[in-house]
Amino acid sequence: MEKKILITIDGQEVTAKPGQTILESATENGIFIPTLCHYSRTTNVGACRVCVVEVEKARSLVASCCMPVSPGMVIRTNTKQVRDAQRMIVELLWSSGDHNCLTCEQNGQCELQNLIYWLKIEQPRFPIQAPGYAPETSNTMIQRDLNKCVLCGRCIRACNEIQVNEVLDFSMRGSHAKVGPAFDADYIASSCVFCGECLQVCPTGAITYRQAKFAGRPWETEKVRTTCTYCGVGCQMDLFIHEGKIVKVSGNREYGKPNEGSLCVKGRFGMDFIAHPDRLKKPLIRYDKNGDLKEASWDEAYKFIADKLTAVKKASGADSIAGLSSARCTNEENYLFQKFMRAVIGTNNVDHCARL
């Protein structure tokens, strides 16, 4: 039986598990501690210090995301000292960048914005001095604006620890510190595979979907969970829909399996085909070799295919026919397709687009 540790948080006695941090224990027991750099699937680094709390007999405030619990620990999350420290940190972050919410794609979904409102900060006490970096718009998928970066390191840890692409890291020092690929290259010139994991974990508007720019505010979109159609893995995703169109896509972390919130480049960015003007929506049949394609019903299309396959098989044998399946079908559909080719047509000439 797993050993439990008794601790006290804000006067409430709670149980924690050995090895848990203060933040994990508080969250598990429904006690809110604000965070910014913390991301549950990556290493705890305590970079931003927004999650500081008071621990009895400790010499100073401690970062709750990194401090492990110990028996009898007494923790206070809502004292004047704690709130003053959190306000100071958030004001410094606000004043060190260009956090203009009016045109930011993350307005309404920004963790820094939420913290400022939660801490009731109307204006930072320090002059706002943005670094003046030029926005990176060299690719069609990810836009970076390092003027909004708070150096939390979440994108770096997501890239290195979740996707293990190891594209991003910190460079420079002090007020010149920034995040990016090696040699200060932009994404398009780096080894980035555009999975978009960094985009999904960014707490501010420093990394955003370029395709979603001005396509709809977060509160205007409807979130719909679905299954990615690009392969048979079954990755769970959230579609953000505005006025009948998909604005952006993110991995669904709440459901968990099989992708645990991560997506590949196709699953996250390859949704333009849905509303593309060249997309086929009804069957088209060319009845003679030199004729034009004509719109047909599904029954007509099925009959046309069956008649043609029957004629070819009768004239040249089953092995004159081959079938190519698609990774965008489900595993069950691919199974039925190969079964159809082998049992109905009578050939083993079956291949799959993911193998080619």
Q: Is 101 part of a structural domain of the chain?
A: no
pLDDT at 246 over 60: yes
In a domain, 338, yes or no: yes
Q: Over 90: is that where the pLDDT of 93 sits?
A: yes
pLDDT at 342 over 90: yes
Residue with the larger pLDDT of the pair 142 and 232:
142
pLDDT at 2: 65
**274 within 8 A of 266, measured Cβ to Cβ:** no
Q: Are residues 148 and 232 in the same domain?
A: yes
Say if residue 48's pLDDT is above 80: yes
The whole-number average pLDDT for the span 317-333 is 91
Q: Is there a domain that residue 180 lies in? A: yes
Q: What integer is the mean pLDDT of 87-95?
A: 96
Q: CB-based contacts of 90: which residues, under 8 Å, 6+ apart? A: 50, 112, 115, 116, 119, 121
pLDDT at 40: 87
Final residue in a domain of this structure, among 224, 248, 275: 275
**223 and 147 assigned to the same domain:** yes
256 and 332, same domain (yes or no): no
Read off the pLDDT of each residue in 4-16 and give the average, rounded to a whole number. Answer: 93
Regarding whether 339 and 213 lie in a shared domain, the answer is: no
pLDDT score recorded for residue 28: 93
Q: What share of the chain is helix, strand, coil (3-state, %, to 5)?
A: 30, 20, 50
Domain termination site, one of 61, 78, 95: 78
For residue 312, what are the CA distances in angstroms to 10, 238, 321? Answer: 78, 44, 8
- How many domains does the chain fold into? 3
Residue 97 lies in a domain: no
The residue ranges of DSSP E strands in 157-217, in sequence order, are 169-171, 178-180, 207-209
Are 288 and 269 part of one and the same domain?
no
**Residue 310 falls within a domain, yes or no?**
yes
Domain that holds residue 295: 284-352
Residue 91 lies in a domain: no
- CB count within 10 Å of CB 258 equals 10
Last residue of a domain, one of 275, 301, 324: 275
pLDDT band at 356; cut points 50, 70, 90 = low
CATH number (domain holding residue 230)? 3.30.70.20
Average confidence (pLDDT) over 31-55: 95
Indicate whether 294 and 233 sit together in one domain: no
Q: Are residues 322 and 270 in the same domain?
A: no
296 burial (CB, 10 Å; 0-12 / 13-18 / 19+) is: middle
Task: Average the pLDDT over 216-244 and give the result.
Answer: 92
**CATH assignment of the domain containing 45:** 3.10.20.740
Same domain assignment for residues 317 and 238: no
Res. 173: pLDDT tops 90: no
The answer on 219 and 193 residing in a single domain is yes
> Of the candidates 126, 187, 170, 217, which has an alpha carbon nearest to the alpha carbon of residue 37?
170
Whether residue 86 lies inside any domain: the answer is no
Residues 166 and 268 in one domain: yes
For 253-298, the pLDDT digits (tens) are: 888 789 999 999 999 999 888 888 888 889 999 988 888 999 999 9
* Residue 178 forms part of a structural domain: yes
For 153-168, what is each residue's pLDDT tens digit?
999 999 999 999 999 9
- Residue 1 pLDDT more than 60? no
Secondary structure (3-state) at 324? strand
